[in-house]
Amino acid sequence: MYKLLKFIIKLGIKIFYSEVKIRNRENLQHDGPTIYIANHPNTLIDAWLVAIVADKPVYFMTKATYFNSKWKMKLLRSLGMIPVNRASESKTKGVNNSQTFEECYQLLSKGKSLVIFPEGTSLMEFFLRELKSGTARIALESELRNNGKLNLKVIPIGLNYMQGEKFRSNILVNCGEGIGVTEYLEEYEVNHSAAAKKLTEKFRSMLEEVLVAPQTKEQEKLVVDLASALHSRYLKKINNVESEFELMKKIRDRIVVLSIEDPKRIELIQWNNNYLNWKTGLLKIKNDFLDRGLRSVMFIRQIVFSLVGLLIGFPLFVFGVIHNVIPYLIIDFITPRLTASKEFFAPLIIILGLFLYPLTYLLFTLIVCHYFHLDTFWIICYILSMPILGMFAFGFARYMQHVSYKLNYIFLIINNKKMLLEMKEQRKLLFQLLFED
């Protein structure tokens, strides 16, 4: 069941996300027992991703509230999940943390792999929250019980989602270098708490290396806004998630420095960025258009070619919409009613989609076969065309929106070039405030 579900979930993730880049995967290679530690922004997707990149069976420490019935307990246990009561929640019947930790020690002693999210809770953010010391205690106790000869390794995995709750967004899974924990054993034997705290701080620094990890939530908002606003000016064209990640890290580092050395400049950066976001939103143009020239003829030529492309692709767009709109609307209606937390949106959409879309395609196929006598070849072509043109319809809709932004920009060039010039200067100033000394 584990292998089957892993295959299905991997397929769902590939469909939902546009790019899932795994960086430094070789760091995950280890023959002995392993603890994978990761940040926890996207609930079930986080666990699925770690299981996929680990490329070997893993066990998960999972909050006990998921195990609140006998059938759930049996199912989740069969998938390698180990229940643990969190201090912030009431205890779940049948779950004892002492037994849970004992089970973890036994698994690691047998050379197995364990996944732990030391933040404990899941929130969709780049900010790295306080780490619980339980991971360090499990690692140290496991080594101590084996006289420091277990060869246990703790490996950090940074799960960097670029709008992880949104369809066709990107993920960078950044695998860091692992460490052993034997150098902390001597102190652990004398003072469990002090050694666990020190090792937990080490884990934090390891995770910060593989994440954007702003120092505060205010910094996080500014980093995200600036990365979105300035990417075309800084990198000309960001065409992969690694580029996005590196730009965000660069902006984060710069903001950290300026927050200490020149707080007034941070205020100016925030004001300029908010102004530009407000202005471009009001005018319905893209921020990066301000890096382009003011030649209306060039934009009109682009619009003409774009409109020709839209006319040619429109019939395929209609086909894709007809065959995919029903499950899309059902999922769009159900998801926010099942949960108000955006951290659960992606896993719910993937699970519902893996059921509803194939069912819809089957119903359309039965209807077509009933009214039209198609041979096997054309039936297969029809079945394959439904998901393919569904993805095309989604991209087509986004492209239509992009063309509308271009049209708005052309009207501004023609009718209010002075305003555009002022906004271009404002954008140039924002870049200078951030990167130039």
Give me the residue spans of the domains in the chain: 2-209, 217-291, 296-426
d(CA 79, CA 9): 13
DSSP-assigned letters across all residues of 27-95 = GG--SS-EEEEE--SSHHHHHHHHHHHH-S--EEEEEGGGG-SHHHHHHHHHTTEEEE--TTSPPPTT-
Residues 280 and 427: beta-carbon distance below 8 Å: no
CATH 3.40.1130.10 fits 2-209, yes or no: yes
Other CB atoms within a 10 A radius of the CB of residue 315 amount to 10
DSSP string, 162-187: ESTTSTT-EEEEEE---B--GGGHHH
- 430 touches 269 (CB < 8 A): yes
Which among 242, 92, 251 has a CA at the least distance from the CA of 172? Answer: 242
| pLDDT at residue number 236 | 54
Distance of CA 280 to the CA centre of its chain: 26
Residue with the two structure tokens 């471009």: 280
Q: Which two tokens stand for residue 374?
A: 């198609």
| pTM over the 0.75 mark | yes
Ordered per-residue pLDDT tens for the chain, 437 residues: 778 888 899 999 999 999 999 999 999 999 999 999 999 999 999 999 999 999 889 999 998 888 888 888 888 888 899 999 887 777 888 888 899 999 999 999 999 999 999 999 999 999 999 999 999 999 999 999 999 999 999 999 999 999 999 999 999 999 999 999 999 999 999 999 999 999 999 999 999 999 999 999 999 999 999 988 877 655 555 568 998 899 999 999 999 999 999 999 999 999 999 999 999 999 999 888 888 777 667 767 878 888 898 999 999 999 999 999 999 999 999 999 999 899 999 999 999 999 999 999 999 999 999 999 899 999 999 999 999 999 999 999 999 998 899 889 888 888 988 999 999 999 889 989 998 87
Which residue, 190, 175, 202, 196, is CA-closest to 101? 196
- Provide the pLDDT for residue 2: 74
| C-alpha–C-alpha distance, residues 130 and 156, integer Å | 15
- Are the beta carbons of 178 and 27 closer than 8 angstroms? yes
The pLDDT assigned to 329 comes to 97
32, 111 in Cβ contact below 8 A? yes
Question: Strand locations in 298-430, DSSP E?
Answer: none
